[in-house]
Amino acid sequence: MTRHNIAVDGPSGAGKSTLSKMLAREFGLIYVDTGAMYRTIGLHALRSGVNMEEDEAIVALLPQIQIHMEYDTNGNQLMLLNRENVSSEIRLPEVSMSASRVSAIPQVRRYLLEMQQSIARESNVIMDGRDIGTVVLPDAGLKIFLSADPEDRARRRFEELQQKGVSTSLDEVLKDMIQRDHNDSTRAAAPLRPAEGAVILNTTGYTLEQSYLALYELVKRYMED
């Protein structure tokens, strides 16, 4: 059977996870959120109280960490950190920043790479992150790069956090987002950038439905190949 793997990359708040989940459901793919893996390591680092500026201290934590991914009956990806379900906690703003920090460390990236690649060997996936098309699945048959203006992305993320009852302000979300975009795209290890051959979609001003329709056609054509 031919593997159908789709790589979705882009900055935070571009709609990657919402759209990937919808497409996974429509086309019978497994949705893999790799940001959740970095967030889980970021959460462990925060909890352990290490100095977040010290790469070696963060790398030294890796042997204590067991990460497992499971899916609930609705197909939502759950993250387990040493058997504890941390799926909600990893969405907190302070964990976003910590995830961005730990994700710049090459050893952390290497630690997660094999896990990500082995999932894609076993199933047809739509995997989202920052380096999926460039590093994790360079042979993916379809690569998508989603972007949108920072103000648009911050507004979407702010609304999402509000719905979850997280107290924050739009300004704070925008400031964090710009900082994270900068970290994620200027780091030496697997920086965020469109993969060669990626279809680039800028969703500024699009509704979710408009973005979904644009991607639906693309994925449909690919899945029928």
Sign of the Cα torsion 193, 199, 205, 206 reads negative
Write down the least CB distance from residue 38 to ligand DC, Å.
3
Closer to ligand DC by CB, 182 or 221: give it: 182
Q: Which of 5, 87, 100, 211 binds ligand DC (CB under 6 A)?
A: 100
Neighbours of 33 (CB within 10 A): 21
Sign of the torsion formed by the C-alpha atoms of 69, 72, 78 and 80: negative
Site for ligand DC contains 15 (CB under 6 A): no
Contact between 145 and ligand DC by CB under 6 A: the answer reads no
Q: Under the criterion CB under 6 A, does residue 176 sit at the interface with ligand DC? A: no
Helix ranges restricted to H, the chain: 16-27, 34-48, 55-59, 93-102, 106-122, 150-163, 170-186, 208-224
**Residue with structure tokens 């964090």?**
176
Kindly state the smallest distance separating residue 183's Cβ from ligand DC, in Å: 7
Q: Which is nearer to ligand DC, 12 or 203 (CB)?
A: 12
Identify residue 135 by its one-letter amino acid code.
V
* 225 residue type, one letter: D
Contact flag: residue 131 with ligand DC (CB under 6 A): yes
Residue 12 binds ligand DC, judged by CB under 6 A: yes
Q: Among 21, 44, 130, 143, which residue interacts with ligand DC (rule: CB under 6 A)?
A: 130
Choice from 5, 20, 103, 147 touching ligand DC (CB under 6 A): 103
Beta strand 77-81 with 84-85: parallel, antiparallel or unpaired? antiparallel
Whether the CB-CB separation of 197 and 1 falls below 8 Å is answered with no
* Under 8 Å between Cβ of 192 and 131: yes
Residue length of the chain: 225
Among 34-42, 59-67, 75-83, 147-155, the segment contacting ligand DC (CB under 6 A): 34-42
Residue 129 engages ligand DC in binding (rule: CB under 6 A)? yes
Give the footprint of ligand DC on residues 56-95 (CB under 6 A). Answer: none
Residue whose CB is less far from ligand DC, 2 or 118: 118
Residues near ligand DC (CB under 6 A): 12, 34-35, 38-39, 96, 99-100, 103, 129-132, 180, 184
